A and B are shown apart, each in its own frame.
Chain A
Amino acid sequence: MSAVAELATDTVTITQRNLKKILRVPDVLVFTLISPIMFVLLFAFVFGGAIGDQGGVGYREFLIAGIFAQTVVFGSTFTGFSLAEDLQKGIVDRFRSLPMSPGAVVFGRTLADVGINVLSLVVMALTGLLVGWRIRTSVLEAAAGFLVLLVFAYAISWVMAYVGLLVRTPEVVNNASFIVIFPLTFSANTFVPIETLPGPLRVFAEWNPVSSVTQAARELFGNTAPGAPEPEGWALQHPVLYTLLWAAVIVAVFAPLAVRQYQRAASR
């Protein structure tokens, strides 16, 4: 078998293993499904009353794309958590002693975790529809909106894979990523319009890829008011392109790093 074919078949094997695990460990599944619902409801009802229409649309409609973006970015933490857990449990020793493709363990992990994000997007979309969110574009555009969210989350999960293999302790992965992801997803247009942010923070938010992925989703779902002024900055004017560029760069940098770190982490 060629190296690429080996990587592909081994990745399928590992992905299957990870998907089975996701379905069989109820706490992960419950957390995956409950927390997005909680987020949608909390923001819709707690903030929704205090914050009026934003950019010509109701706050709930404005908000949903932001919650989608934040949740899938948080969801990618699971990639790092699981890899650190595998390292601790010793199953990686079995993998490493097999003539399998070394990249397959990390590829199989990131692919399986797309499943988690698909699941949480479905749950969030349904909850969103219940509280008044609507898709105002075509099915195709809406699908593109979900796809952009998933692609971005997939890229972030490579960062998390690297972090997980570096720190090797599942709990530390969770805490460390929280410290980074929480401010990153709040210093953006996720929950408030970017114009309300003070100077430097506003510039950061304009170029923050979390803003662009949120903006991309908002536009593709039709959750922006018709005739609203164009956002400031090239990034938010071309949110899909800007997001995909980020995703490509992140994967190009972190996929090799993560695979190399896997080989190092396992060979101690």
Chain B
Amino acid sequence: MATAIRAQGLRKRYGSEVTALDGLDLEVEEGTVMGLLGPNGAGKTTTVRVLTTLLRPDEGTAEVAGIDVLAEPQRLRRSIGVSGQYAAVDEHLTARENLDMVGRLYHLGRDRSRQRASDLLTRFDLDEAADRQVKGFSGGMRRRLDLAGALVAEPPVLFLDEPTTGLDPRGRAGMWDVIEDLVAGGTTLLLTTQYLEEADRLADRIAVIDHGRVIALGTADELKSQVGGERVEVVVAHAADLDRAAAQARTLGPAEPVLDRRDGRVTVPVDGGAQALVVLLRLLDQEGIEVSDVGLRRPTLDDVFMRLTGRPAEDAAPTAEEPETSESAATTEEVA
């Protein structure tokens, strides 16, 4: 399989204080989805901006779709689509006019631009709103339109920067469906997200980034296994049974069960997965211990992040805040 995106040693500093990228390496195979996972300020947006020609790195090289990003930015722009964190759509144009304009600026010609605009409006469920000005659109509609804009030229490589940040749960679910459809068509996708659940659902491989570099790489399952295997969790119905339940759990293997007395919960690491769960339930039943909840827990990506960085994913270090958007760049760096 060919490599669709390759970045080596990307560095970008803002002033002397902020290092947005600190030697970032990344490779994405053609036709796969790479999830770039990290908290605010980790360098996700900066990575996307570099790979989409919007920002020149201080150091490093990058190749997308076989084209050198730094040497031939204009040629690369024909082969990529970008949808950013803040929908880059024109408020005062209609949805159709926005897409038509993008098509023309890709030099698709008048007829093809119109055709693509109307195909995409249908595909993204924007037919009804097609001829209304975007200023009346909901956040979800804007994002869909922005994503449609990224697809006008049917680019082989697509970049989505936090496509669901700020959307309500329904908007998020809708966006996920759209993205899954896209990927099924063979597009290579680089996706950034702060949501562990999102990376887990959409990405084939995940690069966890923090302070401008990749700190872990692998499939969701590989990352989770770094934290440790599965655990069986049982909540007893009567608190008095807790110690007896723990004694049964201890018989499953070498690992020591962990007790949570407040919730009446016993957690024990196991090897056998579902089979261990069945065995424990049978033992508890024989002992006449009533169970109110039971489950096989896999480590979440939250656990992964905690393990890798020593802090929860939501807790971004404020000193590492990068200018994530052109807006904040405008306010933090007034005049060049």
Contact = CB atoms under 8 A, between A and B. Distances in A.
A264 B101 CA distance: 23
20 contacts: A6-B107, A13-B104, A20-B92, A20-B93, A20-B97, A24-B133, A87-B330, A88-B326, A88-B330, A90-B84, A92-B88, A93-B84, A94-B149, A97-B80, A97-B81, A99-B105, A100-B105, A166-B335, A267-B54, A268-B326
B327 A88 contact: yes
A263 to B, nearest CB: 10
Interface of B: 52-56, 74-75, 77-78, 80-82, 84, 86-93, 97, 101-102, 104-107, 133, 146, 149, 323, 325-327, 329-330, 333-336
B74 to A, nearest CB: 6
Contact of B327 (A17, A90, A99): A90
Given A20-B92, A266-B54, A90 B104 contact: no
A90 B78 contact: no
A1 interface: yes
Contacts of A90: 84, 86-88, 325-327
Nearest to A97: B82
Q: Give chain A's interface residue range (CB within 8 Å of chain B).
A: 20 to 34
A169 B326 CA distance: 12
- Chain B at the A interface: SS class: loop
Nearest to B159: A97
Contacts of A98: 77, 102, 105-106
- Chain A at the B interface: SS class: helix
A267 B97 CA distance: 25
Nearest to B81: A97
Nearest to B52: A97
Contacts of A92: 88, 326
Nearest to B104: A13
Given A98-B77, A267-B56, A25 B92 contact: yes
Task: List the 8 closest A-B pairs by CB distance, nearest first.
Answer: A94-B88, A99-B77, A100-B105, A97-B82, A98-B105, A21-B92, A99-B78, A13-B104
B159 to A, nearest CB: 9
Interface string A92-113: 1111111110000000000000
Contact of A99 (B74, B149, B329, B336): B74
Contacts of B336: 166, 264-265
Nearest to A265: B336
A155 B156 CA distance: 42
A94 B93 contact: no
Contacts of A20: 92-93, 97
A25 B86 CA distance: 22
A218 interface: no
A169 B334 CA distance: 9
B47 to A, nearest CB: 15
B331 to A, nearest CB: 9
Given A13-B105, A99-B74, A169-B330, A89 B52 contact: no
